[in-house]
Structure formats: structure tokens, C-alpha cells
Amino acid sequence: MTIDVPDAPATTTYDLAAWPDGSRHALDGLLRERSVEPVWQGTTLLVAERERHVTADLVAYLNGSAAPGVTATGWSAPARPRDPAPAWYPNPEDDATWRWWDGHRWTAFTEPAPPRYRPWFPPRDRAAGNEGEVGLRGGAWLALAGFVVGEAVSIGVVLAALALGESERSVFLLVLSALGLWSSLTIACVIAVRRYGTGSLRDLGLAWPRWSDLGTGVVTSIVARFAGMACAIALITVLPDESYTRGTSLLDQSDPSVAAMIVLGLIVVVGAPFFEELFFRGLVQGALQPRVGARVAVLLQAIAFGAVHYQVGMSLGVFLITFTVVGVSGLLFGVLRWHTHHLGAGMFAHAAFNVVAVVVTFASL
């Protein structure tokens, strides 16, 4: 319900009198982390109508509700909402510091309030890398299962198609491989947010992109491309006798059809950035971060991201170069996800990174 106030933006109110102080302080900190300015009138929270969806998800998260979107004026939370996840939150006794909540009670550990915007690279300290994070309460093993099953399904459908006589350079084979991988990864994401989150893919950082994400993503893709090239050149000098030609579906055709080029472009520039960012930077990094800290989570998801780009028939040299180049880009995309709190900039960076590969491929035909 909105309140009509002359010359003032519409607001939505939440009656949180039944919540303990710790939960209200946690909600306040999480809202401010997402650039929402809460207004408190005692235990009643008022937020601008345009921030209603963000607030509803956070209220549902702390309330332990499986369905976000509770936004009715006068709505009263149950007497015992779920305790906030262990993390640093604004100190209820000191506005200049943050205090560690162990999942059940406030501890004696405090630190200076973090800057409003994160630095670009995750800190070494595990706890400091998790401040203000809202996402999954678990799911690391589910992410691993999704990765293994996705790889197995992708390779399995390719081998089955080849055994049935399908050409290794066919569009159909490429589509099968991509769909087998992406469907498994997406299923893992959906199961994870339903079991360990609010049930929304927004738990993984999926949100409408901003215009600033486009510029940030393009710049990051350029840095990733040059860093990857440097690593590839270094590997070639170490493995000079390896064959670096690759015989994958459409890339060796001297005169590919227009349909094949369109399919390849859609898969590489549209499908891959969406599904792979959602899984690797959303689920894998998000599930690992509470366990191992932001820095290690970014590194581990980059390793998995490089490994998943193995294709049937790759030589050792080709795989090592592919793994390194893709892994370096995944590392930068992971840092981007950590810095921005969402996947939009990483999806743009991933798409721009892949556009270069598509253009070079088509230009060389």
C-alpha cells in the first residue's frame, strides 16, 4: 500500500515490531549496502516505492520466507524471524563501526565502517570479503554437482551424436553441446535458490543491467583480452612443439552457411554470457564466498570456468591455452561481480570478450 504525500515520493511501510533488534539492524545495513535509504519511525520501516522490490526481498530473506515480495502496510513479521547470516553489520551501538554477528548474537569484534563502494579487488580477510552480502546460505556442493553433471551431459551428447554418424562440424552438434551444458547449469541455479535462498535468481546477482554496466563491461573485456593474449603467448613459448589448431564444429568450415554463422554468434555472444555468468559468477562464486572468502571464491570459480571449456578432440596444448585464457577472463569477471554486487557488468564483459573471438573467426574464413 502506498501513502500519498503531496510533493513527496510514494512510500511503502513495514511493521517490524515483532523482530528482535539484531534483525532490524541487519536489515538497515543491508538496505544501505544496496543504496536504499531507510527511514525508521520506531520499529516501523519506510522506504521509497521505487525500492519496494529490493526491500521485499531482504525482508523475506531475513524472515526465512521462501517467497519474496511481502510489501503490505501493516504487515507484521512472525515473532521469530530467521537469524541473519554470519557477517559484518552496522554496529547498533556505534554508527562509525561495523560489528560481527555470528549468526545468533552480536560478538565483541568491531572494525571501522567499510566504504560505501567496494574496492575493485577482494580483500584477503575472509570475513571482510563478506560484509553486507545477501545471497545463498549454502549450495557449494550443489554447484559442484551442477558443474560435473553439465560437463558430463555436454560431452555425452557430443559423443552420442558422433557415434550416430553426426558430423563433428555440424551446427546441430554445437547446439546440442551448448544446450546440454547450459540446461544442467541452470537447473543447479534454480534448485540452489529454492533450497538455500529466497527462491529468486536475484539471490545470484541477476538483475536488470544498468547503463554504467555496459562501459564497465567493455573496458573489463579489453583488459581480459590483452591479459589472455599475454598468457597464451607465454604458453606457446613453453610448448613450441604442440599443434595449436583446433577442429571444432564450425570453425574449420571454409564456407559456412549464414545459418551456421548466426547460430554460432547467438551461442557465443548471447547464450554463453547469460548462462555461464549466472552459474559461475552467480552460483559458484556466491556459494563459495561464505565458506572460503571472496578472494578464494573468485579464484576457484575462474578455475572451474576455464575447465568447462574443454571440448572433445582438443590436444593438450590447445586445452592449456584455452583453459588459461578463459580462466583469466573468468577471474576478472569474478572481480567485477564482487565489486558491483550483480551480474550485469560481467555479462556485458563476457559478451564483448566473445565478440572479438567471433569477429576474428569469421574474418579468417
Q: List pLDDT tens digits, range 217-227.
A: 999 999 999 99
Cell, residue 47: 522506504
d(CA 320, CA 310): 9
The model's confidence at residue 30, banded by pLDDT at 50, 70 and 90, is: confident
d(CA 136, CA 209): 21
In degrees, rounded to 5, the angle at the alpha carbon of residue 278 between the alpha carbons of residues 64 and 169 is 150
3-state secondary structure of 341: coil
d(CA 322, CA 344): 24
d(CA 67, CA 202): 12
d(CA 114, CA 33): 10
d(CA 31, CA 38): 7
pLDDT in tens, 306-345: 988 877 677 788 888 889 999 999 999 999 998 888 899 9
How far the first Cα of the chain sits from its last, in Å, is: 60
pLDDT at position 265: 84
Report percent pLDDT > 90 for the chain. 21
Which has more pLDDT, 128 or 118?
Answer: 118
Helix locations, the chain, DSSP H: 21-33, 52-63, 140-163, 171-196, 211-238, 258-265, 272-276, 285-292, 294-307, 316-340, 344-363
- Contacts of 169 by beta carbon, 8 Å cutoff, 6+ apart: 247, 249, 250, 252, 253
Is the Cβ–Cβ distance between 365 and 279 less than 8 Å?
no
d(CA 313, CA 299): 27
pLDDT at position 67: 36
Burial class (CB in 10 A: 0-12, 13-18, 19+), 233: exposed
The model's confidence at residue 169, banded by pLDDT at 50, 70 and 90, is: low
Nearest CA among 236, 270, 242 for reference residue 350: 270
pLDDT at position 123: 67
Domain ranges of the chain: 11-116, 140-363
Cell, residue 297: 571464491
Residue at 25: amino acid letter: H
